[in-house]
């Protein structure tokens, strides 16, 4: 619109930098160039007054953004620039970039660029585009940034660079006069605009759009006159280099190119050669585009295909032209492509659709295809033109966004914070966890947290790590809105934009209260005794190892007190495990009252306890006195009565102590020494305390040596069976007790009181018991065929460990079967301990053997805690009065009373009775008077070998 008379003209400040021939200052200091002339024509039509402001490219760009100039010509659109500048809609000029070289530099393709020094306008889109293109080709040129395009041509002329990147317009202007020639390498078709600061000059840009739109529709307009004035640039300005700007523009500009070419053929016939050159350059540009550009005829055969499509199908252009999709792709792919082609050609529709084609590696590639019908002048359709842009990465990004949104709705608490560390968004899980509403948290800082339950605010530590290292994670303690503290696991990750600046922080927070409780419970199970709550062996050994390792540094020695309850098993068997557990808990509580806060009271298992005394003294005398005081204090405390259920119970303990008298003693050695000292205390009468001394170690060594000798002697002639006669009231031998004897090859004869406990403790009693049973049964089988011996019975002792073996019943059955002995002649002697522990299992095993015919005798009766209810249930045949009652039966009224009671009990239950340890006629006579009719003891014969026993039996018939 022309300015009205009397109205001051609009002053428009225009930035001018050097980029001839599009814009520049000429030798007279006047603004000149294609885009300056176009803008002057628009200003004349609109009534503007132009004021030109000289500046370098970067300063011009900054001035336009800041509003210091109103218009900046010759600006290529980019997404980044669109954030700070406004652009009009109709392009002012079309151009492309090209490489120009010195004549002595071989540079004809992108593959020749590696190592070449190539000048390029600093900070320009050309620089970014060429860098990325070289990277895609795998080339490594050496870029030389310059302040202006003219500087780049000057640098090439002087030999400071091998080539320069410039627009076609600049190349035509600067190259010939410097002896520089163009190369076939063309790229980056661009649309050039006038740009203005964001939101500043919308009216100016709208006026420019009106004028350009009208002029570009009119071949006789001032616009084309200006282009014609710049001669060789006139045709280039109309070349539609739109490919990078979207599928629709590509198709529209292709159509424009065809129309323009037709017009040029009519209007400028003498420039046919130039038009052919322009078409060739257009093909070069189309071949440099990554998108698939193609034309198909009405038979759906390819009439044109660019290099990108050629690369996709891995064929030459000649191999593609004339073929259909069915010749290039699998049937399902070809069918899908054909459906959209039919819409464009047969239905004359403009089609925009996503399609899927395989890439050269066979992977599925998603493309956004735009297909439009091509019309003749009469309106008929002669084909379609299409462009397909790979959007696989965009689809993947959308999928990632969808997944991220799904994750944001997960059960984990999540928040997003800005670079200012203030929360922008939170999910429902975070609100549920913290008790805060989303509206309360928006704009607020992340809630306070510490790295420990009573630590200081640790948020700065977290932010610093996330900013400097990209990520921070750890366990924290924080509070809910109601003030409740809870532990959580927090991970914060920094998200950076394309400029490597932090745009967001993403935080993930999970409540780990349950996990912590579970960890505490696991730690408790791993390090503490479940019955007493005291540290267990594992924790004790860890603490002991720590104390031992500090011995040299601190100068203080630790002490170890090792003890167990005296006769606890008897109490447990009599009263049951439940009351036994109550006693152990009370013992643990008493021990803790006797120790210091830093000491460790541990339960190893059963009735074994250990006290670790840390730092008890620098000298052995001082440490020993301290340990002794605490040890006797524990013994006294344990001796006090315990209230267990409704009963009062008294017990004692035996305690062993060991000191780390020198640094060479490790944890294992201290445990061994304290254990040995405890057994010494038991051996010395119990309810006492003993310190370790080296003599104890020799006792243990002796015991271990015996154990090994027992193991070696098994299955050899080292062990033998002796038989002690059992007689009736007339003194006739009715049977014998088989007694095990050992003649060690190294030590000679060793009594049962020595080797039987060792065999019991080591487990060797099981194979030894099997051998004894088999030997006794074999002897019975031998007597079965001899007159005078066939009616004899043999009693065999069975240990508790042997009886508890799962295979015990089968072992007895197999032994009876293998030897052929009569089961009724075999009597198994069991102790009260065997009977009381797991009564149901005991009864079942005895019942099975009883059905076989085997008899049972209850040995050492009266010394334990046998219950009458048990006796009534057990399938026993005989009670055996223990030698401890027989020994003083004539002088001790209590022993006599007990013997009478046992005899009376046996008679009441219908059981046989036998007394062992009978050594005098007076003892036998007393036992006979009270009703005991079978005896065993030295009065009737010592244990003897089988041959001697046989002679004794036969002698009574002589």
pLDDT digits (tens, 9 = 90+) for 507-566: 999 888 888 887 777 777 778 888 898 999 989 999 988 888 887 777 788 999 999 998
In angstroms, the CA 558 to CA 618 distance is 9
The ranges of the chain annotated as CATH 3.20.20.450 are 706-955
pLDDT at 289 over 80: no
**Residue 696: what pLDDT?**
64
In angstroms, the CA 624 to CA 618 distance is 10
Termini Cα distance of the chain: 160
- Please compute the mean of the pLDDT values over residues 66-82 and round it to a whole number: 88
pLDDT at 401 over 70: no
DSSP 556: P
Summarised one tens digit per residue, pLDDT across range 748-762 is 888 888 888 888 877
Lowest-pLDDT range, 58-72, 541-555, 577-591? 541-555
| 3-state DSSP helix/strand/coil % of the chain, to nearest 5 | 45, 25, 30
**Residue 255: what pLDDT?**
41
Lowest-pLDDT range, 245-254, 437-446, 477-486, 662-671? 245-254
| 279 SS3 class | helix
**Residue 405: what pLDDT?**
62
Superfamily of domain 289-395: PAS domain (3.30.450.20)
Under the banding of pLDDT at 50, 70 and 90, the label for residue 870 is low
DSSP string, 113-181: -TT-EEEEETT-HHHHHHHHHHHHHT---EEEEESSHHHHHHHHHHTS-SEEEEEHHHHHHHTGGGTEE
The ranges of the chain annotated as CATH 3.30.70.270 are 533-696
* CATH fold for the domain made of 410-511: Beta-Lactamase (3.30.450)
pLDDT at 187 over 50: yes
> Could you tell me which of 81, 97, 73 has the C-alpha nearest to residue 22?
73
In percent, the amount of the chain with pLDDT more than 70 equals 88
Summarised one tens digit per residue, pLDDT across range 681-691 is 888 888 999 99
Question: Strand ranges (DSSP E) for 226-272?
Answer: none
**Residue 493: what pLDDT?**
92
Lowest-pLDDT range, 403-412, 716-725, 783-792, 822-831? 403-412
Q: Does residue 21 have a cis bond before it (omega within 30 degrees)?
A: yes
In angstroms, the CA 828 to CA 811 distance is 13
The ranges of the chain annotated as CATH 3.30.450.20 are 289-395, 410-511
Summarised one tens digit per residue, pLDDT across range 230-285 is 754 433 333 333 333 343 344 444 444 444 444 444 554 444 455 456 556 666 77
Lowest-pLDDT range, 435-439, 650-654, 838-842, 864-868? 864-868
State the average pLDDT for the chain: 84
- Please compute the mean of the pLDDT values over residues 402-420 and round it to a whole number: 75
* CATH fold for the domain made of 706-955: TIM Barrel (3.20.20)
pLDDT at 71 over 80: yes
- Please compute the mean of the pLDDT values over residues 899-920 and round it to a whole number: 92
* CATH fold for the domain made of 533-696: Alpha-Beta Plaits (3.30.70)
Question: Strand ranges (DSSP E) for 2-127?
Answer: 10-16, 24-25, 31-32, 48-54, 72-76, 85-87, 93-102, 117-121
Report the CATH architecture of 10-238. Answer: 3-Layer(aba) Sandwich (3.40)
**Residue 404: what pLDDT?**
60
**Residue 87: what pLDDT?**
92
In angstroms, the CA 712 to CA 346 distance is 103
- Please compute the mean of the pLDDT values over residues 75-80 and round it to a whole number: 83
């Amino acid at each position: 619109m022309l300015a009205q008379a009397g109205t001051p003209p609009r002053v428009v400040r225009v930035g001018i930098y050097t980029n001839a021939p599009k814009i520049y200052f000429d030798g007279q200091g006047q603004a000149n160039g294609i885009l300056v002339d176009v803008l002057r024509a628009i200003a004349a039509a609109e009534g503007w007054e132009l004021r030109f402001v000289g500046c370098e490219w970067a300063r011009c760009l900054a001035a336009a953004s800041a509003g210091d100039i109103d218009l900046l010509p010759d600006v290529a659109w980019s997404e980044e620039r669109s954030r700070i500048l406004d652009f009009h809609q109709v392009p002012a000029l079309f151009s492309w970039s090209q490489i120009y070289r010195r004549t002595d530099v071989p540079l004809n393709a992108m593959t020749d660029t590696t190592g070449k020094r190539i000048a390029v306008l600093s900070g320009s889109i050309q620089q970014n585009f060429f860098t990325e293109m070289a990277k895609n080709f795998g080339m490594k040129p050496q870029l030389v940034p310059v302040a202006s395009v003219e500087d780049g041509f000057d640098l090439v002329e002087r030999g400071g660079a091998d080539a320069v990147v410039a627009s076609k317009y600049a190349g035509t202007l600067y190259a010939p006069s410097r002896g520089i020639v163009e190369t076939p390498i063309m790229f980056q078709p661009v649309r050039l605009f006038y740009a203005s600061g964001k939101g500043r000059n919308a009216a100016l840009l709208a006026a420019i759009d009106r004028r350009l739109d009208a002029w570009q529709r009119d071949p006789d307009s001032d616009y084309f006159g200006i282009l014609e004035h710049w001669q060789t640039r006139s045709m280039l300005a109309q070349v539609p280099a739109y490919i990078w700007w979207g599928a629709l523009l590509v198709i529209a500009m292709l159509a424009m190119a065809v129309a323009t070419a037709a017009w040029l053929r009519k209007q400028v016939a003498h420039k046919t050669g130039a038009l052919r050159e322009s078409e060739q350059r257009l093909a070069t540009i189309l071949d440099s585009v990554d998108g698939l550009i193609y034309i198909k005829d009405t038979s759906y055969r390819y009439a044109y295909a660019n290099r990108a499509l050629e690369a996709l199908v891995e064929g030459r252009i000649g191999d593609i032209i004339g073929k259909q999709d069915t010749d290039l792709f699998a049937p399902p792919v070809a069918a899908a492509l054909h459906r959209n082609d039919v819409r464009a050609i047969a239905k004359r529709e403009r089609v925009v659709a996503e399609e899927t084609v395989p890439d050269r590696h066979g992977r599925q590639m998603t493309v956004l295809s735009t297909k439009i019908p091509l019309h003749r002048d009469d309106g008929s359709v002669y084909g379609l033109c299409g462009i397909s842009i790979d959007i696989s990465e965009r689809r993947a990004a959308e999928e990632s966004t969808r997944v991220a949104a799904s994750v944001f709705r997960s059960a984990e608490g999540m928040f997003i914070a800005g670079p200012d560390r203030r929360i922008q968004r939170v999910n429902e899980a975070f609100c549920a966890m913290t008790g805060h509403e989303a509206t309360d948290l928006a704009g607020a800082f992340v809630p306070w947290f510490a790295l420990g339950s009573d630590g200081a605010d640790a948020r700065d530590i977290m932010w610093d790590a996330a900013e400097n290292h990209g990520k921070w994670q750890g366990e924290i303690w924080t509070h809910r809105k109601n003030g409740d503290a809870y532990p959580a696991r927090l991970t914060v990750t920094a998200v950076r934009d394309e400029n490597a600046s932090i745009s967001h922080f993403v935080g993930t927070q999970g409540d780990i209260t349950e996990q912590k409780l579970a960890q505490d419970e696991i730690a408790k199970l791993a390090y503490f005794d479940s019955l007493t709550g005291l540290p267990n062996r594992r924790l004790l050994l860890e603490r002991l190892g720590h104390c031992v390792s500090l011995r040299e540094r601190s100068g203080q020695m630790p002490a170890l007190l090792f003890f167990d309850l005296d006769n606890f098993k008897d109490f447990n068997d009599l009263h049951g495990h439940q009351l036994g557990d109550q006693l152990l808990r009370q013992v643990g509580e008493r021990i803790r009252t006797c120790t210091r806060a830093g000491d460790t009271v541990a339960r190893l298992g059963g009735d074994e306890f250990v006290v670790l005394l840390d730092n008890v003294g620098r000298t052995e005398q001082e440490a020993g006195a301290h340990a002794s005081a605490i040890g006797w204090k524990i013994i006294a405390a344990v001796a006090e009565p315990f209230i267990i259920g409704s009963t009062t119970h008294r017990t004692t303990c035996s305690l062993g102590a060991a000191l780390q008298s020198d640094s060479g003693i490790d944890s294992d050695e201290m445990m061994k020494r304290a254990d040995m000292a405890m057994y010494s205390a038991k051996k010395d009468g119990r309810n006492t305390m003993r310190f370790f001394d080296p003599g104890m170690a020799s006792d243990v060594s002796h015991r271990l040596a015996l154990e090994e000798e027992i193991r070696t002697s098994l299955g050899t002639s080292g062990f033998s069976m002796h038989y002690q006669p059992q007689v009736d009231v007339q003194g006739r031998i009715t049977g014998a007790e088989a007694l095990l004897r050992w003649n060690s090859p190294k030590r000679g004869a060793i009594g049962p009181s020595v080797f039987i406990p060792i065999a019991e403790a080591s487990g060797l009693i099981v194979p030894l018991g099997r051998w004894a049973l088999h030997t006794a049964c074999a002897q019975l089988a031998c007597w079965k065929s001899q007159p005078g011996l066939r009616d004899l019975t043999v009693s065999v002792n069975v240990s508790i460990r042997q009886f508890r073996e799962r295979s015990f019943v089968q072992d007895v059955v197999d032994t009876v079967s293998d030897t052929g002995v009569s089961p009724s002649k075999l009597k198994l002697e069991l102790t009260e301990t065997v009977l009381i522990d797991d009564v149901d299992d005991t009864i079942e095993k005895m019942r099975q053997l009883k059905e076989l015919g085997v008899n049972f005798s209850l040995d050492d009766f009266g010394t334990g805690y046998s219950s009458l209810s048990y006796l009534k249930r057990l399938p026993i045949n005989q009670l055996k009065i223990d030698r401890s009652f027989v020994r003083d039966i004539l002088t001790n009224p209590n022993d006599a009373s007990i013997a009478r009671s046992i005899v009376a009990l046996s008679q009441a239950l219908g059981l046989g009775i036998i007394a062992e340890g009978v050594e005098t006629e007076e003892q036998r006579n007393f036992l006979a008077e009270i009703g005991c009719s079978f005896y065993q003891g030295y009065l009737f014969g010592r244990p003897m070998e089988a041959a001697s026993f046989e002679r004794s039996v036969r002698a009574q018939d002589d």
